[in-house]
Amino acid sequence: MQDYDKLYIDGEWVQPDGTGSIEVINATTEQPMGHIPEGSAADVDKAVAAAKSAFDGWAATNPSDRAKYVQALSEGIGARNQEIAETITGEVGMPLFLSQLIQAGLPKAVAATYPAIVEAFPWEEEVGNSLVVQEPVGVVGCITPWNYPLHQIVAKVAPALAAGCTVVLKPSEVAPLNAFILAEIIDEIGLPAGVFNLVSGTGPVVGEAIASHPDVDMVSFTGSTRAGKRVAELGAATVKRVALELGGKSANILLPDLDGAELEKAARAAVQSAYLNSGQTCTAFTRLLVPAAKHDQIVDVLRDEVESVYTLGDPAVGEGRLGPLISAAQRDRVRGFIEKGIEEGATLVTGGAEQPDGLDTGYFVKPTVFAGVRNDMTIAQEEIFGPVLSVIAYDDVDDAVAIANDSPYGLSGGVWGADKESAKAVARRIRTGQLEINGGSFNALAPFGGYKQSGNGRELGKYGLEEFLQTKSLQL
């Protein structure tokens, strides 16, 4: 049991304003695995005051010295990889070997990129008779989600600290234990008091207090589009900067020139692109766009891939390729979408809304594939956040591009083609923040963010650093 009863404010573990506690549930056992304090608006006031008091000193620190703290943070995360991975596997349900690589490994890697970025960054430049300088935006409120909890925290906190900002963090109350481990690491590396503060609690209380606080200069939020709109609404009252990384309904296009082994490889890879973290991924490629003439052939490959590879089981002991969803509410929501797909006339290829055989405990959902999906169906338009893949047929490439862009979202996507240049040309026509060409790998130095209702602003690399900076011009 991982129990925490204090918040981290102004360099110390302190008693929260109230006595409330939030229970953290293991997604596989459905049993409590820890408790955290239920913070209040008064706790946010204390944390923001600490961050504001610390800001001037931290902002004046040499960027290379700030970067040394971020490097120490990366090393601290690496030293506790196993503990972090086991914790997030319990909280979220990702298989342990993937949690070691992604949930613990990725935040370590992301933090480690910033020392070199800081050294190479143009903190000032001369433009005519002006000196243009980059300065930290101020006190930053970071509100983060539960699906990749520590990665999403570090993708905000590392560049914010490197930029010279001070931070108040509210992690997801559903998967918060990893954030407390991070606060322990930050305490150990000796970051100056008030530069980083942790207030746990619910979105309607702690999240809204951060977003509306007059002394918070910027809010960086990752989560649902609905919640992101609320953050933007609250932030508008004080005209603070708001960066939003929101939902997605990403299209993966298999081009007509694919055939034989190349087509089969792309189809099998499409399942992984949709099902990573049991589909609890904002960038999941949940719409698979295929040539109408090859629809049935591709569906046969998908059925074989899902039924032969994507087994379910206890993620903590390596049983199964997929673990459970994070909560009963999320499980029920995803099953509701599956039922809606059947109701609206999509063809259920494999999976379904029923409880998986032999898994009476845990928030499991059968990995599901729908064929014959129209892009106006609910399962093709709304973000499901579970292991549900919709196969949509298109007539020609122009039709595929039109379908891909026919979405309120624009976060990610993929294009597979025998001719890479043709695939790149199609990718340029998709209105989305990032695309994979023939399964191109994730790049922690490339900008990450969305178009349309998938949000605004960019994270990672130098683009993530720039997000936390203000531009000032000095006329000389």
The three-point CA angle 104-106-107 to 5° equals: 75
Candidate list 142, 282, 305, 467, residue with the active-site label: 282
Candidate list 91, 173, 245, 467, residue with the active-site label: 245
In the residue annotation, 142 being an active-site residue is answered as: no
In the residue annotation, 282 being an active-site residue is answered as: yes
Give catalytic residues, as residue numbers: 245, 282
